[in-house]
């Protein structure tokens, strides 16, 4: 089929497709460099003098900096903890297969399939009861739980793929279990770790509902700020939405650019280990 | 691995007594190993227990009570009244059927588009700047749904939006995408399709990548017609990953919440009130905790049904491999 295309035409088609999907995002990003009037101007100015005022204003805003650092702190900490504990668990599942392994794995995955709105209610009641609302500990633990199922699935798939010969050799040579786990197995499943990390970061980074309901002014992350903090007396502050989206999406776009081949591993819970 | 070691040990030991001792040592180690295995599980299991089991039990308990956060009256036991109320409530059935339609249409269109575009991107290895192109292609699925949803409100706006500007200049009419109950559902669906078609493209690319090069070449040599090639060479290898993609999308689509919340909050009226939004509104706008808990439980059971299907297919694959 593709042989009927001439190469340049085929490549142009691919690029056009990619850019078409990117277009709405580009439109958002473009608005970050427009003035308030230009954003809602119809017909739009196709050529305009970019202004950096929106971004400068945003960077000067103490709230924004707090939201952004919350986003970074909460998502990075939560996913790191999740991957660490998931590594321990998946090593156990993979090597010792304790009773009920399949069942635990199933239940872990199924909680991740439940709509957030269904689990947020009991969470809310429990957090209110224990005073965990609007605390970093509460948010981090919630997102850790959020990231555990996929991490366990991805990492177990990877550890299963490492021959037990390595473990046996280390054991015979007097290595402890922890030595085997961290010095023998861990270095070999680096791609799995990166995949699990990237995949869960995308979810936690963009998560809105949980932070909205059980968070508070102290632990607000950017998505919540986006959804709630953008309405002023003149309606929605579009330039603010745009510049916030720009600053917030860029780190992920850069991460995707560099970790493209790990994306797929995460998307399929490690059942597929190919490259794109 | 340990059973293999056991076999070797048994084969090597000549006398019974040594055998017995070896067995005892092995048992000892195995017991310790099992203990160790469970120690490793403690962190995950405690997270699971505290943040999932307890809240879920709490919710199950609550679903049998009448309990409103805004009234002074405490929880009152009402038995299965909440469930009966929900199952006999037209609004909730309406939400369920809307969700069903949303999932069916959304995932259906994403799959068809994704597979077509996936085929287009097949063998694009030499595309200049391929990494950039793919990054652009995948951006819709990594942008925060909240951000996309909020901004699409502007794009869809009847007077200020670029979307309507184009429609007006080409067709001379104005569409109130989100404000009109008959369009709102499809407008939201369109954004969902934009966001998640790249995912299906990614899955299709992966699926096509798993077709062995040799078989494709053989088909080329035999000059097999395109349809037969698809049926006998490509599909058998790529079926599983595409199925996986469809299932994942189905599950995720069932949960769609932030996108719709920011675009329409379920409105106008309840035109876009999918089950996740309904749940949210019930719990945090009307504060009917008992009834929302019952609704959440019903949703949870449907989600578990989805997961079972998913895992069934996974295991089916494992058996085949």
pLDDT digits (tens, 9 = 90+) for A188-241: 888 889 888 988 898 899 998 889 888 888 898 988 888 876 666 667 788 888
Q: B178 and B249, same structural domain?
A: yes
Closest by CA position to B148, among listed B190, B179, B95, B106 = B190
Is the CB of A249 less than 8 angstroms away from the CB of B143? Answer: yes
- Report phi then psi at A219, rounded to 5: -110, 15
Query: Does some domain include residue B76?
Result: no
Is the CB of A25 less than 8 angstroms away from the CB of B143? Answer: yes
Query: Does some domain include residue B107?
Result: yes
Coil, strand, or helix at residue B68?
strand
Per-residue pLDDT, A2: 47
Query: Does some domain include residue B20?
Result: yes
CB-based contacts of B236, cutoff 8 Å, min separation 6? none
Q: How far apart are CA A152 and CA A160, in angstroms?
A: 12
Q: B265 and B211, same structural domain?
A: yes
Q: B93 and B58, same structural domain?
A: no
Both tokens of A15, joined, read: 């690029």
CB-based contacts of B49, cutoff 8 Å, min separation 6? none
Query: A83-106 pLDDT, tens per residue?
Result: 999 999 999 999 888 888 888 888
CA A126 to chain centre: 25
| Chain A CB within 8 Å of residue B193 CB | no
Query: A246-261 pLDDT, tens per residue?
Result: 999 999 999 889 888 7
Look up residue A43 and give its DSSP letter: S
Q: B162 and B50, same structural domain?
A: no
Query: Does some domain include residue B77?
Result: no
Q: B87 and B57, same structural domain?
A: no
Query: B94-128 pLDDT, tens per residue?
Result: 888 998 899 999 999 999 999 999 999 887 888 88
The boundaries of the domain holding residue B118 are 82-320
* Omega of the bond leading into B27 within 30 degrees of 0 (cis): no
Look at chain B and report how many structural domains it folds into: 2
Dihedral sign of CA atoms B290, B294, B297, B303 in order: negative
Is the CB of B151 less than 8 angstroms away from the CB of A238? Answer: yes
Task: Answer yes or no: is pLDDT of B7 > 80.
Answer: no
CB-based contacts of A159, cutoff 8 Å, min separation 6? A90, A91, A94, A95, A185, A189, A192
Q: Catalogue the E-assigned strands of chain A.
A: 231-232, 235-236
* Domain A57-267: assigned CATH number: 1.10.3720.10
**A134-148, A252-266, B243-257, B299-313: the lowest-pLDDT one:** B299-313
Q: How far apart are CA A95 and CA B9, in angstroms?
A: 20
Residues of A in contact with B131 (CB under 8 A): 257, 260
Query: B291-300 pLDDT, tens per residue?
Result: 888 988 888 8
Mean pLDDT of A247-276: 76
Q: How far is CA A125 from CA A16, A131, B55, B281, in A?
A: 49, 10, 8, 16
Which residue in B has a C-alpha nearest to residue A166's C-alpha?
B1
- Report phi then psi at A136, rounded to 5: -65, -40
Å from B210 to nearest chain A CA? 8
Q: How far apart are CA A169 and CA A179, in angstroms?
A: 12
Q: B143 and B54, same structural domain?
A: no
- Sorted by where each begins, the domain ranges of chain A are 57-267
The angle formed by the CA atoms of residues B219, B220 and B225, to the nearest 5 degrees, is: 70
The answer to whether B82 and B69 have CB atoms below 8 angstroms apart is no
Q: How far apart are CA A181 and CA A174, in angstroms?
A: 14
Query: B157-206 pLDDT, tens per residue?
Result: 888 888 888 888 888 777 888 888 888 999 999 999 999 999 999 888 88
Is the CB of A14 less than 8 angstroms away from the CB of B133? Answer: yes
What ipTM goes with this model?
A: 0.84
- Report phi then psi at B65, rounded to 5: -115, 155
CATH number of the domain bearing residue B199: 1.10.3720.10
Q: B284 and B175, same structural domain?
A: yes
State which of B62, B92, B114 marks the end of a domain: B62
Query: B200-233 pLDDT, tens per residue?
Result: 998 888 888 878 888 888 888 888 888 888 888 8
Q: B194 and B315, same structural domain?
A: yes
Which residue in A has a C-alpha nearest to residue B299's C-alpha?
A118
Query: Does some domain include residue B6?
Result: yes
Residue B77 host element (H or E): strand B76-77
Residues of B in contact with A186 (CB under 8 A): none
Q: B182 and B39, same structural domain?
A: no
């Amino acid at each position: 089929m593709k042989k009927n295309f001439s190469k340049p035409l085929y490549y142009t088609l691919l690029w056009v497709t990619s850019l078409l999907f990117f277009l709405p995002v580009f439109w958002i990003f473009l608005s970050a460099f427009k003035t308030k009037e230009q954003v809602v101007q119809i017909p739009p100015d196709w050529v305009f003098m970019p202004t950096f005022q929106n971004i400068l204003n945003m960077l000067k805003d103490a709230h924004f900096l707090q939201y952004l650092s919350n986003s970074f702190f909460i998502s990075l900490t939560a996913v790191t903890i999740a991957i660490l504990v998931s590594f321990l668990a998946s090593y156990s599942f993979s090597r010792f297969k304790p009773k009920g392994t399949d069942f635990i794995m199933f239940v872990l995955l199924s909680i991740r399939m439940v709509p957030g709105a269904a689990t947020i209610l009991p969470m809310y009641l429990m957090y209110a009861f224990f005073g965990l609302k609007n605390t970093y500990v509460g948010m981090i633990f919630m997102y850790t739980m959020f990231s555990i199922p996929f991490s366990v699935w991805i990492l177990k798939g990877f550890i299963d793929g490492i021959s037990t010969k390595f473990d046996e050799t280390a054991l015979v040579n007097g290595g402890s279990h922890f030595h085997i786990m961290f010095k023998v197995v861990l270095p070999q499943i680096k791609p799995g770790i990166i995949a699990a990390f990237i995949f869960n970061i995308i979810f936690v980074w963009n998560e809105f509902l949980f932070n909205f309901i059980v968070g508070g002014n102290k632990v607000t992350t950017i998505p919540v700020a986006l959804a709630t903090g953008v309405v002023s007396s003149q309606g929605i502050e579009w330039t603010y939405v745009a510049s916030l989206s720009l600053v917030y999406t860029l780190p992920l776009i850069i991460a995707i650019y560099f970790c493209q081949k790990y994306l797929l591993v995460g998307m399929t819970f490690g059942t597929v280990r190919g490259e794109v | 691995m340990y059973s293999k070691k056991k076999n070797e040990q048994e084969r090597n030991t000549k006398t019974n007594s040594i055998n017995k001792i070896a067995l005892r040592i092995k048992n000892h180690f195995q017991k310790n190993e099992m203990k160790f295995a469970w120690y490793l599980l403690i962190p995950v299991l405690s997270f699971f227990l505290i943040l999932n089991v307890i809240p879920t039990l709490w919710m199950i308990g609550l679903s049998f009570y009448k309990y409103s956060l805004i009234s002074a009256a405490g929880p009152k036991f009402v038995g299965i009244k909440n469930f009966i109320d929900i199952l006999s409530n037209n609004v909730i059935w309406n939400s369920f059927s809307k969700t069903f339609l949303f999932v069916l249409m959304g995932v259906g269109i994403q799959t068809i588009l994704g597979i077509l575009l996936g085929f287009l991107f097949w063998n694009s290895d030499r595309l200049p700047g391929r990494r950039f192109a793919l990054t652009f292609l995948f951006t819709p699925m990594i942008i925060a749904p909240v951000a996309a949803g909020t901004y699409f409100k502007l794009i869809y706006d009847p007077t200020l939006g670029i979307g309507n500007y184009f429609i007006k200049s080409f067709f001379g009419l104005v569409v109130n995408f989100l404000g009109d109950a008959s369009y709102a559902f499809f407008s939201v669906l369109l954004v969902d399709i934009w966001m998640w078609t790249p995912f299906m493209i990614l899955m299709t690319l992966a699926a096509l990548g798993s077709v062995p090069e040799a078989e494709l070449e053989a088909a080329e040599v035999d000059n097999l017609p395109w349809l037969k090639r698809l049926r006998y060479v490509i599909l058998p290898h790529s079926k599983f990953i595409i199925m996986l993609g469809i299932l994942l999308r189905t599950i995720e689509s069932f949960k769609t919440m932030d996108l719709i919340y920011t675009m329409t909050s379920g409105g106008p009226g309840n035109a876009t009130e999918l089950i996740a939004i309904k749940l949210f509104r019930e719990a945090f706008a009307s504060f009917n905790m008992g009834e929302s808990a019952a609704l959440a439980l019903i949703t949870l059971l449907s989600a578990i049904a989805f997961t079972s299907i998913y895992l069934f297919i996974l295991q089916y694959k494992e058996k085949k491999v």
